[in-house]
Chains A and B, each alone.
Chain A
Amino acid sequence: MPFQSNVPAGELSEKWKQYRSSMPLVAPNNKRRLEVIIVGTGLAGGAAAATFGELGYKVKVFTFHDSPRRAHSIAAQGGINAAKNYQNDGDSVYRLFYDTIKGGDYRSREANVHRLAEVSVNIIDQAVAQGVPFARDYGGLLANRSFGGVQVSRTFYARGQTGQQLLLGAYQSLSRQISLGNVELFNRHEMIDLVMQDGKARGIIARNLLTGKTERHAAHAVVLGTGGYGNVFYLSTNAMNSNGSAAWRAVKQGAYMANPCFTQIHPTCIPVSGEYQSKLTLMSESLRNDGRVWVPKNQEDAAAIREGRKTGLDIAEGDRDYYLERRYPAFGNLVPRDVASRAAKTACDEGLGVSPTGLAVYLDFDAAIERYGKSRAHSLNESNADKGRIRQLGVAVIEEKYGNLFEMYEKITGEDPYVMPMKIYPAVHYTMGGLWVDYNLQTNIPGLFAIGEANFSDHGANRLGASALMQGLADGYFVLPYTIGTFLSQEIRNPMVDPDGPAFMEAEAKSKARIEKIMSINGTKSAETFHRELGKIMWEYCGMARNAEGLQKGRRLIRELRKEFWSSVYVPGRVDEYNPELEKALRVADFMELGELMMLDALDRNESCGGHFREEYQSEDGEALRRDDEYAYVSAWEWDDTDPILHKEELIFENVELKTRSYK
């Protein structure tokens, strides 16, 4: 199978422009005769489906959700980046490109990232035209804020609900195309296999989740916008139903999985409270602008807090260790996500954790409350305001800035974060890895494309905040609608694909057999139990810190778990009915294989970079050691049940110089 990045020649800043004006087009009359299947209605899939409909292709769009509007993208809080330079603070396309490459610890493809930065500006315009109510300044112009790891203010936002508003924009455009008859919507339909014919992706097998019936759907090309696989860890900030199965089904047909071990662990999430825990909730990165992270200096205090004999308030200032400020004086509490997460783990590993489980650190707003209170008192001319008054004024400022987050925290934990310092701990949040794609966003299977979090393309080993929304929409609105032409222009002479052909019948029979097999095991343990077990193995051996021995052990444990699953899982209910337990079992089966591949990938990568930290490769003071001469490549894995094969795409840096990230 082909394995070339297909990056066009030319100057970095001219590549996309030139390529776009010279790539093959499909004439309008031919578009009507070309069918495209899009799986996923998140930002990436929703945007692509709407745009393809507008362009005149015949589109079928699939989602396992009951409505396109419920895709996981809806939950994004913080914002979306764009190189608009509306703040006149020196931002530019090049700077956004550079920040993204550097933030990704030099493990992404220059040309893709530059293109992303270029089209970022169009996304904002498009969203505004759709009626997305972005935050605005008093003059009525668009407002911005800044996010971790960068020095400009380029993040656009809609309160704490940016993902929701952007997704509704895409959803509404998609709805318009549905009503015009250009797009056919299949909600509550889950893709359970990819159909290949003559070496090309030609359709999918879908399960109607209401009736349980399998269906065959054919097209000239298939696009996966099916999101990330963070739920392989069981506990993550992802929505409960997010899963990696669509991508994994493609992998089982020969698609390459790229950098599967690159996962982002977000430092500020609400800690686990018990075994029944089903998911973790993110507390936005913006909190680190004002919150100070600390643990007690000595273990006795930490133990007393864990046992409930003391609280954070009882620890005197001198007995607290503001470890981020101590270790990283230049960036302090605002170091990038991977660095902050590892530091929290180190503190807890040293026995300094502050929740009953031992896995939490404090995020404290006391200093900010006092600082804001004083400044407020000053501006109100209250020079003799007492402590209580200052506090009251300070709390009001914090409430204005983070009120909804504080409220969410209180709802979940039952503790008042204005009084008690928040307890936080890192949690799995995003997967940089994904299906390998070339410059056209085509996988190594001709006719199969991957967009959004489902592909690996733009974030290297670590994603910067507010860049996932940007990438999903860039892929869906402004990149794929052009690049898919390189494939589809070759298809205009091919008739409609027949969903009753032998390849489809065979694929359907295989899918049905797989479902029957899972149902017939009739064992004793629920799919959920296996998922939880898998999550523990992944977190222990392939989480924030990894080492060769642990990764080997992890792989072994997963293989054992896989065996146990196929002999003792119990799936209640019937095949031909609405059956969420069956859906879950099929996804967990795929997650286990994917988890195994993640272990292998992490084992292969004998370096530390971005979200991937190998304990063997660290500097004396515990910082990540990247090894560019040997590992500046994308690992693209071809699945094999015993011995997956590694293909390497060398990363060539012509425009940026590889440097060690330093936040000290």
Chain B
Amino acid sequence: MTLNLKIWRQGGKYPKGQFVNYTLDGVNDHMSFLEMLDVLNEKLINEKEEPIAFEHDCREGICGTCSLVINGYPHGPMQQTTACQLHMRHFHDGQTITIEPWRSRAFPIVKDLVVNRDAFDRIIQAGGYISVDTGQAQDGNAIPIEKDQAGHAFDAATCIGCGACVAACPNASAMLFVGAKVSHLSQMPQGKVESDTRVQRMVAQHDAEGFGRCSNITACQAECPKAISVEHIARLNRQYIGATLGSEKVAN
């Protein structure tokens, strides 16, 4: 099939950033979306043009690196599918496809479709962990955790840190990402001890990074490739209120 691609380019020849149109033929059903971009880049390189910068690594939906807005949808139109898992059989001959980077103040554009997501690392550094040093652990079976509860914690822990939730949110809020980590750790007995300080510190960092407020639009859940539920934001909110109102200890 032949495709009309409308791709956001920024940096190099396009200092201010703009859409550039490309026509690509010879695309087949079995290619993945990123392989289609590989083919385009190979073509550009052969013409001594600069290839389009986009990020990717595992190409199987787990590392959270790929980050394309395709026809307006973060990770493209398929539900629960990262851009790297999307295949060309879901597109048709002659179709126009628009490809853009995540857009958010807290994710500055590096080049073309590549953004900087260091803010997510800093949020985790603010408190997204359990304070245990290597060698301090007791036996793994010392604290039984009910199967379903472990499962719920897992549902939150499965977040791949891609940032699609931010890209989907009109407020560019990262509350789904923060909620997922808060919810994962506070549902494990080991993580309860620090849960009050954790939630305060992570939310403070979230705000300091320039992410927006959550106003319950839930677009994040719809676009999240791992189907992280907004229930985790609700759990975060309950915990945040409890921690700030009920507790004397306010994190610094």
Chain A residues near B (Cβ < 8 Å): 47, 50-51, 54, 65-70, 72, 74-75, 84, 86, 122, 124-131, 133-142, 158-159, 161, 164-165, 168, 171-173, 175-176, 178-179, 185, 187, 210, 239-241, 273-274, 276-279, 281, 408, 411-414, 477-478, 481, 524, 526, 528-529, 570, 572-573, 577-578, 580-581
Contact = CB atoms under 8 A, between A and B. Distances in A.
Interface stretch (B41-49, B229-237, B240-248): B41-49
Contacts of A164: 62, 158, 160
A577 B154 CA distance: 39
Nearest to B144: A140
B99 to A, nearest CB: 17
Interface stretch (B111-119, B167-175, B207-215, B216-224): B111-119
A578 B190 contact: no
B128 interface: yes
B176 interface: no
Interface centre among A66, A68, A277, A478, by most chain B C-beta atoms within 10 angstroms, is A66
Given A54-B133, A125-B137, A176 B31 contact: no
B53 A129 contact: no
Given A126-B137, A281-B60, A577-B11, A136 B145 contact: yes
A236 to B, nearest CB: 11
Nearest to B128: A172
Contacts of A176: 125, 129, 131
B46 A526 contact: yes
A411 B85 contact: yes
Interface residues of B, number: 77
A134 B145 CA distance: 10
A199 B135 CA distance: 34
A130 B60 contact: no
| Interface of chain B, main secondary structure | loop
Nearest to A238: B58
Contact of A276 (B39, B45, B65, B131): B39
Contacts of B128: 172, 175
Contacts of B185: 131
B47 to A, nearest CB: 10
Contacts of B153: 131, 133
A173 B124 CA distance: 10
B50 interface: yes
Given A129-B136, A175-B128, A187-B118, A274 B147 contact: no
A164 B11 CA distance: 33
Given A128-B137, A481-B134, A414 B147 contact: no
Nearest to B86: A411
Contacts of B38: 276, 278, 528
Nearest to B205: A179
B58 A165 contact: no
A135 to B, nearest CB: 7
Nearest to B185: A131
Given A133-B157, A276-B31, A70 B49 contact: no
Nearest to B134: A51
A12 B29 CA distance: 56
A93 B65 CA distance: 38
Contacts of A47: 134
Nearest to B27: A276
